[in-house]
DNA sequence: CTTCATGCAAAAGATTTGCAAGTTC
DNA sequence: GAACTTGCAAATCTTTTGCATGAAG
């Protein structure tokens, strides 16, 4: 029994489940389950929040294995297809990803100043999106929604008001 | 009198207005108005829809001027700040921009298969976004919204059904 | 033992930067 | 004339690819 969670880091059980799912995914495709690929999956699951490819490479290497960036780049599309991770559309910046295995879909609210990311999910959006897609004869497949704002801290930090 | 339009290409009058605005913008900043920069602005305004930096370079060069890519890259942030263009978040692909001077804000509905882009604008979103931002103590500054779907043509083209 | 995966090095792109020469104000 | 711009070339950075070697099934 697996309940979608909203915490960034996977539990041990969840991690195992994700690894199993990934093995299944590879097997279906007649691709090979390797230690290197599993290390990459683990690195992705262990890395809370958003990460860039470099972060993943570094973290995977902390296992002591010799892992080349090329291999990580080659593995990424697999992790995405297997729904272990998802690219995140953080405007302007370098491409980043986040682990999604066993998590509910969510969108992001980002502070322009401190870059803090708040996750949110709003069912009402889905309805409107469907409506718009239908209006133009599209079938909706996916969406990206990113809100940019200034968070309370950055706007009026106590320490900035007096000082 | 200027009415926000939704057509991709700027009229001559609108183009002139945008150029004037850009000159003003540069002047405020004690930056210099140059032929090269104006050629870049013109290229951006003339280019309907979304374009990549290369497109802009090519188009600006069609004036016969010798314009280097570096200069275009250096000009881009200015055009963005001056609200002549805006980066568009087309997931995954190379970064692209579109001219926004004198146009209403809109979001994009994109066909995953043929890449056709439909523009839409829905006031109801704005309300929900405000609400979410407020709920987390943010002041909303901007947003990106992109719907991905399959358009009617790509889904069931007449010619694909028989044949 | 065949097919796939990997590391390494080189390649390819996209964007940025240093610098000398040319322009704008 | 001082400060800002530009083109060019070189430097960065990120991502992809070729290839010989090493594993997985």
- DSSP symbols for A83-126: TSEEEE--TTS--EEEE-TTB---EEEEETTT--EEEE--HHHH
Whether residue B163 has pLDDT greater than 50: no
pLDDT of residue B157: 63
Mutate to test the interface with A, among B125, B126, B145 (most CBs of A within 10 A): B145
pLDDT tens digit at each of 163 positions of chain A: 555 555 556 689 999 999 999 999 999 999 999 999 999 999 999 999 999 999 999 999 999 999 999 999 999 999 999 999 999 977 777 899 999 999 999 999 999 888 899 999 988 999 999 999 999 999 999 998 999 999 999 987 654 444 3
What are the φ and ψ backbone dihedral angles of B93, each rounded to 5 degrees? -70, 175
Is the distance between the Cβ of A5 and the closest atom of strand D smaller than 7 Å?
A: no
Under 8 Å between Cβ of A41 and A64: no
* Cross-sheet strand order for the sheet of B139-150: A117-120, A107-111, A139-150, B139-150, B107-111, B117-120
**Tokens at B51, concatenated:** 């374009």
Q: In what order do the strands lie in the sheet with B96-99?
A: B50-52, B96-99, B85-88
Query: Which residues of A fall within a CB distance of 8 Å from B144?
Result: 89, 91, 144-146, 148
Instruction: Note whether A133 contacts B122, CB cutoff 8 Å.
Output: no
Give the separation between CA A78 and CA B135, rounded to whole angstroms: 36
SS3 B117: strand
**Burial profile B22-56: b = 16 or more Cβ within 10 angstroms, e = fewer:** bbebbeeeeeeeeebbbbbbbbbbbbeebbeeebb
Contact between B139 and A132 using a beta-carbon 8 Å cutoff: no
Interatomic distance B74 CA / D2 C1' (Å): 22
Give me chain B's average pLDDT, please.
Answer: 90
pLDDT tens digit string along A36-45? 999 999 999 9
Q: Do B109 and A133 touch (CB under 8 A)?
A: yes
For chain A, how big is the Rg over CA atoms in Å? 18
**Substitution target from B138, B144, B145 for chain A, most A beta carbons within 10 A:** B138
Spatial distance between the Cα atoms of B78 and B35, rounded to a whole number of angstroms: 15
**B19-78 pLDDT per residue, tens:** 999 999 999 999 999 999 999 999 999 999 999 999 999 999 999 999 999 999 999 999
pTM above 0.95, yes or no: no
Give the A:B interface size as CB pairs under 8 Å: 113
């Amino acid at each position: 029994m697996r309940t979608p969670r909203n915490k960034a880091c996977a539990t041990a059980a969840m991690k195992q489940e994700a690894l199993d799912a990934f093995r299944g995914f590879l097997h279906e495709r007649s691709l090979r389950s390797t230690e290197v690929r599993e290390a990459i999956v683990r690195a992705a699951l262990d890395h809370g929040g958003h990460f860039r490819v470099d972060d993943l490479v570094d973290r995977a290497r902390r296992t002591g294995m010799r892992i080349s960036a090329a291999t990580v780049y080659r593995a990424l599309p697999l992790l995405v297809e297997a729904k272990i991770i998802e690219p995140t559309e953080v405007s302007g910046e370098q491409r980043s990803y986040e682990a999604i295995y066993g998590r509910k879909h969510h969108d992001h609210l980002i502070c322009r100043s401190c870059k803090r990311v708040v996750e949110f999910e709003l069912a009402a959006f889905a309805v409107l999106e469907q409506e718009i897609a239908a209006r133009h004869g599209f079938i909706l497949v996916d969406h990206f929604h990113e809100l940019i704002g200034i968070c309370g801290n950055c706007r009026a930090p106590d320490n900035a008001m007096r000082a």
